[in-house]
Amino acid sequence: MIQGLTPLHAAHRILAKLSKIEINALLQLGIEVLERKGDGTYTVRMGNQTFQTKSEIPLVPAKEYWVDMERTKDGVIHLTKPHPKPAMLKKDGFLPVGNELLSDMAKDSDPAEGLKERIMQMMAAAQSKESFQSLSQLLLSFHHGVVTIPFEERGKRTLLQMRKGKSDETLKEKSVEFYAAFNNLGPVEGAIARYGEKRVVKLEVFYPKTARLLEDLKGELPGFSQISVALRPSAILPFWESDSLGLLDIRG
């Protein structure tokens, strides 16, 4: 169970603002790896285009990645800083119920418990096996202490996750950590901590262009005493992710 996530509403507000920034930001590109060639090249798809390229790290066929791209003097396209996208974004059973869940969360005095009840109601009313399975994954995420919210905006899938932050009993800190997989910003991880009347936000991103953009736009994230943006050299992965889209099983 997830209890005591009092800054959840603050996390909702900052994620909603990041979503608006994301729509107008053309930073990171997304690819799907179609095939790996024997000479170390890859066949990838970007939008409606398919082409051959090389990567600075090994890529896995059938997976999707955020990437930066560089073209050599010889005209060869190289993929730089590839970062895997969450598998949940690609699953056929992806159910974008996020807008409805976020709207409910904004009204609820106990948002974590309210979200759980709402998901159970949606499961009871599910019209297909695929919808039920997708919702069961959200409920299973709760069992692992993570709020998972998938939604779709202008045909682009986005994944948000939140969990209770580490508590500092000395400072009586109340905090929530969040993860977001944005199409154009790439992966973002952050934490919101409350110290009395002050709220402090810490953001970590994988791509330098995203870090520069968010640093420039910190003024568009009002309501916080302090906002920091840092570049993380290692991958930023979801807090929880299921390998399958099977029926809910919370045994053990």
Task: Determine the pLDDT at residue 3.
Answer: 44
Mean pLDDT along residues 42-50: 90
Contact 100, 135 (CB under 8 A): no
Q: Are 112 and 210 found together in one domain?
A: yes
Q: Are 34 and 21 found together in one domain?
A: no
State which amino acid sits at residue 174. Answer: K
Percent of the chain's residues with pLDDT above 70: 77
Q: Are 69 and 81 found together in one domain?
A: yes
Q: Are 108 and 128 found together in one domain?
A: yes
pLDDT tens, position by position, 210-235: 999 889 888 877 778 888 999 999 99
pLDDT band at 203 (very low <50, low <70, confident <90, very high): very high
When mean pLDDT is compared across 58-72, 99-113, 223-237, the lowest value belongs to 99-113
Mean pLDDT along residues 4-16: 61
pLDDT band at 179 (very low <50, low <70, confident <90, very high): very high
Mean pLDDT along residues 74-84: 83
Q: Are 162 and 41 found together in one domain?
A: no
Contact 10, 44 (CB under 8 A): no
pLDDT tens, position by position, 105-140: 656 666 667 778 888 888 888 888 888 888 888 888
Q: Residue 1 falls within a domain, yes or no?
A: no
When mean pLDDT is compared across 90-94, 140-144, 180-184, 199-203, the lowest value belongs to 90-94
pTM (global) more than 0.85: no
Q: Are 110 and 44 found together in one domain?
A: no
Q: Residue 61 falls within a domain, yes or no?
A: yes
Task: Determine the pLDDT at residue 7.
Answer: 54
Task: Determine the pLDDT at residue 207.
Answer: 93
Q: What is the mean pLDDT of the chain?
A: 79
Q: Are 43 and 97 found together in one domain?
A: no
Task: Determine the pLDDT at residue 60.
Answer: 93
Q: Residue 239 falls within a domain, yes or no?
A: no
Q: Which of 3-7, 107-111, 238-242 has the highest mean pLDDT?
A: 238-242
Bigger pLDDT: 159 or 70? 159
The sheet with strand 198-205 has its strands ordered as: 147-153, 156-164, 174-182, 186-195, 198-205, 226-231
Q: Are 139 and 80 found together in one domain?
A: no
Q: What is the domain range of residue 132?
A: 8-26+92-231
pLDDT tens, position by position, 138-172: 888 888 888 888 887 777 778 889 888 765 444 34
Task: Determine the pLDDT at residue 137.
Answer: 85
Task: Determine the pLDDT at residue 131.
Answer: 81
Q: Residue 245 falls within a domain, yes or no?
A: no
Task: Determine the pLDDT at residue 92.
Answer: 65
Q: Are 73 and 130 found together in one domain?
A: no
Q: Are 51 and 171 found together in one domain?
A: no
Q: Are 109 and 198 found together in one domain?
A: yes
Q: Residue 72 falls within a domain, yes or no?
A: yes
pLDDT band at 33 (very low <50, low <70, confident <90, very high): very high
Task: Determine the pLDDT at residue 12.
Answer: 64
Q: Are 151 and 214 found together in one domain?
A: yes
Number of independent structural domains in the chain: 2
Q: Residue 128 falls within a domain, yes or no?
A: yes
Q: Residue 2 falls within a domain, yes or no?
A: no
